[in-house]
Chains A and B, each alone.
Chain A
């Protein structure tokens, strides 16, 4: 009897699963068929051939060289780089700011605490996009370049963006530096010759080498913006969209991360802090050696979630015309009509970014767990 019940029960379960699978197949097939019909009606041929076609339109901010004759693949790649660039800024700056404000929120000094609370409660409880359009409106109402606000006569803020001095170095140098450093860090403990070499020698040689190279090869190092007629010459201009994105995502993200940090600091057992005090450690040492290492274990998982969230939040930049991947994809869709392919690229890119970020967070987490637990 019991085996009979079990059998029918199993049969029922199998039936449910088969029905589920069939439903998924039917949905996908139906979507495919109607997409094929709809696209044929619109006269759009599917496939990724359009990636090699020239776009014929330009866009604002880009880290790479661009022109309106670029093929779609270059434009999209440039958008991807912009998203990564903005994403890394919106991860690093808010994290730094968030740790400071979170620590301030945890301070015993009530005035410091009140200031941190004011900051958190203001910027956390207003939607990001509202903060974004607000700062954009503020910056767009800045004076024109001719009456730009000057900061120490080297940087200028106007409604065209922020003009800052720039270093005149080719991309070649930093790349070599990064390569050498990565090589050194990876093989520091694996190759005997490197093990015996004191690390300050390595850094010293690199520093002196960089300085010598900069002085001899590059000639004049700094380029300072200068008002010539109606516009600035020299230096680098940070476009207004980028400044807006940085300000608003930093404030919004910092408020969130500050709460995460405070939560982590709260979880540190009181006894540990008291033990530190009774050993005569200073406030700074207690924070550095006791509170932070303990708190980091509770901070990192939600901090990682916050990073993923910030990375995704960069897409709202489209509201003020920041040319990130999302904006370039949506412009490409209206221009080329290759909706499905472009959406697939968009989804793929975000899956890639989030997956890599998740791997990094897992790595951090595994580094942080207490040994022997």
Chain B
């Protein structure tokens, strides 16, 4: 009996403490002075109106299934029927319809590769590169199919989100070692190589990505001999990777600068070779130091993949355009763009939040 009263009292007091804290918080953070209170109320109302408008458009007043499409004409909210009817096109583009299980599985592989590489346990050059190689190979084999004995689907039939993810993953995978190479070249003791790397990095960095990709798509067939021209998608991936590499090289350079010179000298004194010093002493630390910058670059790269639509790829944005392009769905462009924006947003938001968290954690660890 007595214990019960005691716990009730305790509950009451914790409740009191929480209310007190909340009141104090509101007093200092929202109602500090008269003008402050007015501003707070205005902004609160505005926030409420914005969020309510968005929610009622997207959820409360929305039409959800393609069977109810007739209701869309009178509905004030979103008409998600268009997504219900066309999501396969947005996700997989012109990939053969009855083979859609393959890109679904492939996208799942890449997404889980990305999620897995966020685990600190796997933060070792060997483990990470193995993970990405396996993830990427699985993706490619599933999509392409001929090596697994499935029906072959060539890259020109790939599209939608699957193509966006493919471009993104291959750019990161190819660009990362290139970036490391460029960063090392820029630090080289040999002047020619150092200057060469600097000029190359600065040149690519001062050109818009679109120009680089455009050169790869349009100019390269002229400059390269016929046997080297290859498929447009590979040229664009290589150009995009070079772009990624030049920025990533600068991120690595920051990582290198954080390492005291004494460590190189210590390695020298132990009689280790250049590559031994790099791989056993320097690189593990450089990777740690440049992790936040790297995540930032990965986020930017994912965002920038969207511009391949300009040079004629059927990526997720192009397939979104196609999804409402046909007459009956034309009025519902807003819903389609909102859907694609949500895909990009959730991916980029979670990655950049993760990057911010890491940065904070590392700041605590360093100080």
Q: Which residues of A contact B (CB under 8 A)?
A: 13, 16-17, 20-21, 24, 30-31, 34-35, 38-39, 108-112, 114-115, 118, 121-122, 124-130, 133-134, 137-138, 141, 308, 312-313, 315-316, 318-319, 326, 330, 333, 339-340, 343, 346-347, 350-351, 354-355
| B208 x A20 contact (CB < 8 A) | no
Contacts of B32 in A (CB 8 A): 108-109
Contacts of A126 in B (CB 8 A): 341, 344-345, 348
B29 CB within 8 Å of chain A: yes
Distance between Cα atoms of A362 and B353 in the complex (Å): 31
Contacts of B309 in A (CB 8 A): 129, 319
Of B39, B192, B309, most A-chain CB atoms within 10 Å? B192
User: In the complex, which of the residues A127, A313, A343 contacts B215, with contact meaning CB atoms closer than 8 Å?
Assistant: A343
Contacts of B210 in A (CB 8 A): 315-316, 318, 326
| B189 x A13 contact (CB < 8 A) | yes
Contacts of B352 in A (CB 8 A): 124-125
- Given A109-B40, A126-B345, 16 more A-B residue pairs with CB atoms under 8 Å apart are A16-B190, A17-B192, A20-B192, A20-B193, A39-B222, A110-B40, A111-B43, A115-B46, A118-B50, A127-B304, A128-B306, A130-B344, A141-B333, A315-B211, A351-B206, A351-B207
Distance between Cα atoms of A133 and B191 in the complex (Å): 46
Of B193, B208, B214, B304, most A-chain CB atoms within 10 Å? B208
User: In the complex, which of the residues A34, A122, A125, A130 contacts B340, with contact meaning CB atoms closer than 8 Å?
Assistant: A130
Distance between Cα atoms of A112 and B40 in the complex (Å): 7
- A343-B349 CB under 8 A given contacts A137-B337, A355-B206: no
| B223 x A35 contact (CB < 8 A) | yes
Of B40, B223, B309, B317, most A-chain CB atoms within 10 Å? B223
| B43 x A112 contact (CB < 8 A) | yes
| A133 x B337 contact (CB < 8 A) | yes
| B196 x A20 contact (CB < 8 A) | yes
Number of chain B residues whose Cβ lies closer than 8 Å to a Cβ of chain A: 52
Contacts of B50 in A (CB 8 A): 118
B321 CB within 8 Å of chain A: yes
Interface set, chain B 335-364, CB cutoff 8 A to A: 337, 340-341, 344-345, 348-349, 352
| B219 x A343 contact (CB < 8 A) | yes
Contacts of B317 in A (CB 8 A): 127, 129-130, 133
Q: Which residues of B contact A (CB under 8 A)?
A: 28-30, 32, 36, 39-40, 43-44, 46-47, 50, 189-193, 196, 203, 206-211, 214-215, 218-219, 221-225, 303-304, 306-307, 309-310, 317, 321, 333-334, 337, 340-341, 344-345, 348-349, 352
User: In the complex, which of the residues B206, B222, B341, B345 contacts A38, with contact meaning CB atoms closer than 8 Å?
Assistant: B222
A-B contacts, 12 of them at CB < 8 A, read A20-B190, A108-B28, A110-B30, A121-B349, A125-B349, A127-B303, A130-B306, A133-B321, A315-B211, A318-B210, A346-B211, A351-B207
User: In the complex, which of the residues A24, A108, A110, A330 contacts B214, with contact meaning CB atoms closer than 8 Å?
Assistant: A330
User: In the complex, which of the residues B43, B225, B334 contacts A115, with contact meaning CB atoms closer than 8 Å?
Assistant: B43
Main secondary structure, interface of A, reads: helix
| B196 x A350 contact (CB < 8 A) | no
- A134-B207 CB under 8 A given contacts A109-B29, A129-B306, A319-B309: no
Contacts of A129 in B (CB 8 A): 306-307, 309-310, 317
Nearest first, the 9 A-B pairs at minimum CB distance are A312-B208, A111-B43, A127-B306, A354-B206, A125-B348, A34-B225, A17-B192, A315-B208, A315-B210
Contacts of A110 in B (CB 8 A): 29-30, 40
Nearest chain B residue, comparing its CB with the CB of A126: B341
Distance between Cα atoms of A110 and B40 in the complex (Å): 8
| A115 x B349 contact (CB < 8 A) | no
User: Shortest beta-carbon distance, B298 to chain A, in Å?
Assistant: 14
Nearest chain B residue, comparing its CB with the CB of A352: B206
| B224 x A31 contact (CB < 8 A) | yes
- A316-B307 CB under 8 A given contacts A35-B222, A109-B39, A126-B341: yes
Distance between Cα atoms of A93 and B193 in the complex (Å): 41
Contacts of B203 in A (CB 8 A): 351
Distance between Cα atoms of A350 and B215 in the complex (Å): 14
User: In the complex, which of the residues B44, B303, B340 contacts A111, with contact meaning CB atoms closer than 8 Å?
Assistant: B44
